[in-house]
Amino acid sequence: MGIEFGVIFFQIIRLAVPYTLTSVGATFSERGGVVNLALEGMILVGAFGAAYGQYRTGSAFIGILLALFCGLGVALLFAFVTVTLKADQIVAGIAINILVMGATRFGLSLLFGSSMNSDRIAGIDVPFLFMDPLVYVALFSVIGGHVLLFKTPYGLRLRATGESAETADSAGVNVDTMRYSGVLISGAMAALAGAFLVFQQHTFTDNMSAGRGYIALAAMIIGKWTPAGAALASIMFAATESMEIWLQTGMIPSQLVQSLPYVITLIVLAGFVGKATAPRDAGIPFEKNRKSE
């Protein structure tokens, strides 16, 4: 019984890592006023970058660096479209996700000769650590994210930008710079989540993000736009996903079992979305001369 509990516990921790990394990153983006629906694509491109980086060099470290480079590149594109060009953030996020899905599929065909999956990679293994190093990165991101967001001048400026961009601007805060920074942090975190996924599965598969970016956004909302709250919600969703794995015994239709995380996401959101208050200017492009209504 104890061994089985231990297996389930570590399975939940492993499943929670991508959600935690992505939802903590999403907190920074949305606290700055940008709703980052492109997280799905950022996870996916991070996974592709990590797979190709390790495949070409044999180094997981190089894979992580390439994942970060790819994730930051997509985040920069998203920030340019939404912050500089003032495009609708929801539409831009969906467009970025579609673009990344197509680009990674093309990359698979071009670099690996398959439109479905890459060649096998070794993944990440550090013998003297008890768990994957990215598990510790996820834990640090929660603690460090809380400190950065609520205990530093940067965090104060970022939160002010998301609550009232016009007021922050009148106080001398560069709104565009703060929003860019929030989106770039979210892109880096989502890319690390993608790297963790591909190192765990030892291969990149088409669309392997599988909706995790959207669930991470839900975790952020349930966690009331705080790193700790987002992490706790991520663990809840990971427990649901673990339950899905354990229920795949054949007695329950597989389609119903596989839909459980998404059904629970909708139920929990329905209960929480009315009780959680988003940053006031989240999703609203900032224009220098826009007057308050």
Element (H, E) at 148: helix 133-150
pLDDT digit string, tens, across residues 153-207: 999 999 999 999 999 999 999 999 999 999 999 999 999 999 999 999 999 999 9
Instruction: Please check the confidence at residue 20 and state whether its pLDDT lies above 90.
Output: yes
Q: Which residues are 205's β-sheet partners?
A: 117
Confidence band, pLDDT 50/70/90 cuts, at residue 249: low
Contact 135, 238 (CB under 8 A): no
pTM of the model: 0.90
Confidence of residue 277 (pLDDT cuts 50, 70, 90): confident
At 263, the amino acid letter reads V
Q: Is the pLDDT of residue 109 over 80?
A: yes
255 has a pLDDT exceeding 80: no
pLDDT in tens, 40-86: 999 999 999 999 999 999 999 999 999 999 999 999 999 999 999 99
Q: Give CA angle at 198 (194, 203), nearest 5°.
A: 145
* φ, ψ dihedrals at 205, nearest 5°: -120, 150
**Domain residue ranges of the chain, discontinuous segments joined by +:** 17-210
- 292 pLDDT band, cuts 50/70/90, is very low
3-state secondary structure of 193: helix
- In terms of Cβ atoms closer than 10 Å to its own Cβ (0-12, 13-18, 19+), residue 136 is middle
Phi, psi angles (nearest 5°) of residue 250: 100, -15
